[in-house]
Amino acid sequence: MSSLSYCIHAHFYQPPREDPLTGVIPHEIGSAPFSNWNERIHAECYRPNAELRNFEQISFNFGPTLLSWMENHDPDTCRKIYEQDQANVHRHGIGNAIAQAYNHTILPLASYRDKVTQVAWGIADFEYRFKRRPQGMWLPEAAVDMETLEVLARHGIEFTILAPWSARADQIDPTEPYRVNLPGGRSITVFFYQRELSARISFDPGATTNADSFAQYNILSGFQKEKLRRNEPQMMIIASDGELYGHHQYMRDRFLARLVDGGGFLAGMQTTFPALWLQSHPPRQTMEIREPTSWSCHHGVRRWVGDCACTPNDGRWKTRLRYTFEQLAIEIDRLYLEVCRSLVEDPWELNNRYIHVILQDCCAEDLINEMAGRTLTSQQVRRLHLMLEAQRERQRFFTSCGFYFEDFDRIEPKNNVAYAAQAVRLVRLATGVDLEPEVTADLQNVVGQYSGVRADRVFQRHLRRAEGVNSVRIGYAD
C-alpha cells in the first residue's frame, strides 16, 4: 500500500433560485436549452458525476437547499449520491460525504445563536438525507472564526476543511491534519487544502485535460520531500467547487473519474477521504486559526460586509443591506420571544428543531405541542407557527450569495430582500406589529449601480405580492 494518499474535495452548491413566494424557479435567460441554471448545471455536472460513481471516490458536501431542489427534480440522481456514500460506510465503516451549514451563511458574521441554528439545521438535513451522523462539516465559503469551530465541536463535528491562509502560521504542512484547541477543553481537527493544486485544478483548464498527467506531474510533486525520503504517510486535499467537474469546465467529470480511479494509482498514490484518514492518522500537531478568514476573500470576510478589493466598484450597498437585515433580525427575535413567553420554555431549541418541519419530517403542531409540554389552542399554535416561519425567513435573508457579487441588481440579493419582506409579513400576521416602515427606510440607499434598481422598491413590490396571496405558505421544504 502506498504511503501517499490524496483526496479531492468537491463543494456542491448553488444560490437559491426559487421564487421566494412560490418555491418555483422562473425561466432564466442564458440557461438554454434548459429552463433554468439549476437544471443545466444538474445535467452537466451532478447527474453525470453520479452516473460515473465519482461521489464514491471523493470527499464532498452538498448545500442542503440544493439537495432539496434536486430531490424534487431528479430523485434518482440523489439516490445514487446517497448510495455512493453508503458504499464507503459498508466498506470502511465510515462515509465520505460531509455536512454543510444550512443556508450558506457566512458564519463569522453571524451571532452565536445563528451559528448554532445553521449548524444544527445542517446536521439534521444531512441525517435526514444520508441516514447517518456527519463527522465533518463544510463551512460556507470556508469562512471561519474560533466561535464557529466551538459550535461545530459542541455539535459533535470532528473535522472541517479550511484554506491554508486560515492557519496562523507562515508555513504549514498540507499533508497533515491539525488539532485546534478550543475553550473548555474541546478540540477539532482541521485539514488545510493544498493551495497551488486547488488553484490549478480550479482555474487552469490546460492542466486538467489529462488525468494521468495531472496525477504524475502535479499531485505527486505536491508531497513533502522529507517525508518521501522517510516513507512517511502523507495525505493531501485538493479542494474546489464541485461544479467545476462538468459545468464550469467541459468533460471534467470524466477527468475526475479517471483521476480518482486509475490516474493516481498509476502514479503510485491512493485515494482517501478525511474521516477515513483520521481513523489511522489522528492529528499530531496543533494549530491556531487566523480569524476571520475564508477561501474566496483574501481580506477576511470583508467581501460580504462592504467595500473589498475582491469585487469591483462601490461595495457600501452591502454594508447598508447587512445593517438592515441585522436590525430586522433583532426585532424578529424580540417578537418571537414575546410570542413564546409562557408557552414554550426553550424558544431557541424549538427554533432549532423546526428544521424537521421544514424537511416535512414532522408537523408544526406536533412539534410545538411537544415543546410546550401541553396541547395549545389552535390560535396559539398558529401564532407560534407563523413566527417560526418568520425565523426561517430570517435565516434565509443572511444567505451569503446576496452579498457576494459587485452589484445589488442580481437575483441573489433581491431574493434576500424578498425573504425579508416575507418575514415582515409573517410577523405582522402573528403579532400585528408592522416592521415595514423601518425596513423600507433602511433599504432606500441600497441601489443597483448600473440599473438604479432600489432595494426598498424590491422589498415593497414583493411584500404587496405576498399580501395578495390568500393563504400563507408555511412548513414547506426549500
Domain residue extents for the chain? 4-286, 315-467
Residue 253 C-alpha cell reads as: 467529470
Residue whose C-alpha is closest to residue 238's, from 192, 307, 172, 293: 192
Quote the percentage of the chain above a pLDDT of 70.
98
The bridge status of strand 187-192 relative to strand 178-181 is antiparallel
pLDDT digits (tens, 9 = 90+) for 304-327: 999 999 998 899 999 999 999 999
pLDDT at position 2, please?
A: 80
| Position 470 confidence tier, pLDDT thresholds 50, 70, 90 | low
The average confidence (pLDDT) of the chain is: 97
Whether domain 4-286 has CATH 3.40.50.300: the reply is no
Q: What is the pLDDT of residue 469?
A: 83
Give pLDDT, residue 475. Answer: 44
For 255-269, what is each residue's pLDDT tens digit? 999 999 999 999 999
Is the model's pTM score more than 0.85? yes
H-run or E-run covering 55: none
Task: Identify which of 87, 94, 114, 88 has the alpha carbon closest to the alpha carbon of residue 103.
Answer: 114
From 330, 336, 338, 334, select the one nearest 442 (Cα to Cα). Answer: 330
- What is the per-residue pLDDT across 37-67, written as a single tens digit (0 to 9) for each? 999 999 999 999 999 999 999 999 999 999 9
- For the stretch 69-93, pLDDT in tens is 999 999 999 999 999 999 999 999 9
Question: What pairing do the DSSP bridges indicate for beta strands 4-12 and 99-100?
Answer: unpaired
| Cα separations in angstroms, 146 against 53, 105, 115, 188, 292 | 36, 16, 12, 10, 8
Q: What is the pLDDT of residues 82-127, one digit of tens each?
A: 999 999 999 999 999 999 999 999 999 999 999 999 999 999 999 9
- The H or E element that residue 366 is part of is helix 364-372
